[in-house]
Amino acid sequence: MTCAPPNNPNTALQLDAHGRLRHFLTLDGLSRAHLIDILDRAEGFLGIARQAIKKVPLCRGKIIANLFFENSTRTRTTFELAAKRLSADVLNLNVNTSATAKGETLLDTLRNLEAMHVDMFVVRHADSGAAHFIARHTAAHVSVINAGDGRHSHPTQGMLDMFTIRQHKGDFTRLKVAIVGDVLHSRVARSQITALTTLGVEDVRIIAPRTLIPAHAEATFGVTVYHDLRAGVRDVDVVIMLRLQRERMDGGFIPSEQEYFRLFGLTEKRLATAKPDAIVMHPGPINRGVEMDSRVADGPRSVILEQVSNGLAVRMAIMSLCIGAHNFNMNQQDAADE
């Protein structure tokens, strides 16, 4: 596998001495080969859901702890199910009632979990960089997966989106992709942009009101900025809608949700300017009538439910890579016991 550039600090933190994943914290610093490896491995896990016994023995005897300091039922459930399908034991820490809520430091909590021989932490936190902090302070045998940190990164969501795009479009290099909505507050958008550019997409567009676009976005992210939805989605192959991050807004970023939908909500009429075979995506949960019309969300171009299904296979792939099952042959798998 080709390693990412050695001068990127994320590379040294995420990869072991052989260039393989130890942690999965951000897509920044990972090479195209790393991303393709994840996508290819996830392809092998898709068929497990159709088996009578929906498990493989990759992580039998391993303990995976979900540390969700920020609520997300869908993401936590997907990670839990992915770990169980890999035959791991799963520990769900209720942070609201845990020792950290009683004054114990985060590092003390980690040390106690490590003493229970936990092999992996799946971390979701409202503060950007929290997963990186944990990765720097864990024992050498422990892997950390970032399940979303602040406005910074949501790398597994980014990869399941790439997996879904590849299923429908194949070659990334010829695609035009539009990301629409609250880019300013979205960690998902940052991971999507990094993944798309790493995989060779040259035409990445972000479409939003000026108040929801990060400063210097074109120079920072290498994207084209649009403030008109119809113009932005013209002739694109993929439209990715983002959720309005109302819980992260501390001011008047939009006049109202009704006004936002009037200008930036995806309707069938606005989608008509995209390519006839364009697909529509959304990381969920959808605010219907705000980000998109229900006829689009439930329409023939929508692949939103496929994203949810693909999330399981992609997270299994990432977990198996990080926990050290690099030599597993998907064509020679044996089902584990129930």
CATH of the domain at 36: 3.40.50.1370
C-alpha 121/C-alpha 144 separation (Å) is 5
- Give Cα 81 to chain centroid, integer Å: 16
C-alpha 201/C-alpha 172 separation (Å) is 6
> Quick one: pLDDT at residue 328?
43
> Quick one: pLDDT at residue 99?
53
- Of 291, 206, 210, give the one whose Cα is nearest residue 252: 210
State yes or no: pLDDT of 249 exceeds 50. no
Query: Based on the domain organization, do 15 and 132 belong to the same domain?
Result: yes
pLDDT digits (tens, 9 = 90+) for 34-66: 999 999 999 999 988 778 788 999 999 999 999
Query: Based on the domain organization, do 238 and 327 belong to the same domain?
Result: no
Query: Based on the domain organization, do 167 and 245 belong to the same domain?
Result: yes
91 part of a folded domain:
yes
Helical (H) or strand (E) element with 33 = helix 32-45
C-alpha 167/C-alpha 209 separation (Å) is 31
> Quick one: pLDDT at residue 306?
96
Per the annotation, binding residues for carbamoyl phosphate are 74-75, 124, 154, 157, 284-285
Query: Based on the domain organization, do 126 and 263 belong to the same domain?
Result: no
Query: Based on the domain organization, do 148 and 193 belong to the same domain?
Result: no
> Quick one: pLDDT at residue 151?
84
269 part of a folded domain:
yes
Query: Based on the domain organization, do 33 and 147 belong to the same domain?
Result: yes
Q: What is the pTM of this model?
A: 0.89
C-alpha 278/C-alpha 331 separation (Å) is 33
- Of 10, 2, 8, give the one whose Cα is nearest residue 37: 2
> Quick one: pLDDT at residue 97?
54
Dihedral class, residue 19 (left if φ above 0, else alpha if ψ from -120 to 50, else beta): left
> Quick one: pLDDT at residue 228?
96
C-alpha 275/C-alpha 110 separation (Å) is 49
C-alpha 235/C-alpha 178 separation (Å) is 10
**Which residue segment(s) compose the domain that 269 sits in?**
155-307
Query: Based on the domain organization, do 146 and 161 belong to the same domain?
Result: no
C-alpha 207/C-alpha 174 separation (Å) is 20
Mean local confidence (pLDDT), 261-265: 94
209 contacts 183 by C-beta, under 8 angstroms = no
- At 326, the pLDDT band (50, 70, 90 cuts) reads very low
Query: Based on the domain organization, do 254 and 295 belong to the same domain?
Result: yes
Per the annotation, binding residues are 74-75, 102, 124, 154, 157, 187, 243, 284-285
> Is the link from the previous residue into 209 a cis peptide, with omega within 30 of 0?
no
Show the tokens assigned to 16: 């072991």
- Of 95, 91, 94, 69, give the one whose Cα is nearest residue 80: 91
Most confident of 84-98, 253-267, 277-291: 277-291
> Quick one: pLDDT at residue 5?
44
27 part of a folded domain:
yes
Query: Based on the domain organization, do 272 and 319 belong to the same domain?
Result: no
**Domains in the chain: how many in total?**
2
C-alpha 1/C-alpha 31 separation (Å) is 9
C-alpha 135/C-alpha 143 separation (Å) is 7
Q: What is the DSSP string of 134-171?
A: HHHHS-TT-EEEEEEETTTB-HHHHHHHHHHHHHHH--
Helical (H) or strand (E) element with 262 = helix 257-264
Mean local confidence (pLDDT), 271-300: 96
Query: Based on the domain organization, do 215 and 75 belong to the same domain?
Result: no
Mean local confidence (pLDDT), 233-257: 80
Q: What burial class does residue 89 get, using C-beta atoms within 10 Å of its C-beta: 0-12 exposed, 13-18 middle, 19+ buried? A: middle
3 part of a folded domain:
no
Per the annotation, binding residues for L-aspartate are 102, 187, 243
288 part of a folded domain:
yes
4 part of a folded domain:
no
Show the tokens assigned to 62: 């391993």
1 part of a folded domain:
no
State yes or no: pLDDT of 325 exceeds 60. no
Question: Among 96-105, 297-306, 320-329, whose mean pLDDT is lowest?
Answer: 96-105
Query: Based on the domain organization, do 161 and 302 belong to the same domain?
Result: yes
Query: Based on the domain organization, do 251 and 142 belong to the same domain?
Result: no
17 part of a folded domain:
yes
